[in-house]
Amino acid sequence: MISLGSLFGSVANGSAWSIVSLVLGIVGAILGYFMFVKPDKKYPNKFVNWLRDFLDFKEMLIETILKITYMFLAIFITLASFDLIRFDFLIFVLTLILGNLVLRVAYESVMVLLGIWKNTKEINAKMKK
């Protein structure tokens, strides 16, 4: 059985660690920004250059993540719709067709926004030259 004193002690220790984590996070973010993101110089180490581009959001991971989640959800909707045959064939067909159609339209909308961002970035890079 947990005593009230040990419960409050563990809460106090958790709060102290949260404060330490907050302070270390702020210090790390400031150091990371001024060491990697702010300077526009190239480093001899490829990993440091990749880290700078990653922290500066020059490389976007969201496109890859969106493509993978789209494939997962499309396969899931298709397979899950087959479970609906036992209830009603019309629900099965609607889920199979409309579910994938709505999913595709939603993901294409997000991909259009990413395409606009990429094109704007390319135009901006060409105008700076």
In this model, does residue 103 exceed pLDDT 90?
yes
CA-to-CA distance for 11 and 122, rounded, in angstroms? Answer: 50
In this model, does residue 97 exceed pLDDT 80?
yes
In this model, does residue 5 exceed pLDDT 80?
no
Q: Which pLDDT belongs to residue 12?
A: 56
Task: For residue 54, give the nearest of 79, 76, 32 by alpha carbon.
Answer: 32
In this model, does residue 129 exceed pLDDT 90?
no
The pair phi, psi for residue 98, each rounded to 5°, is -70, -35
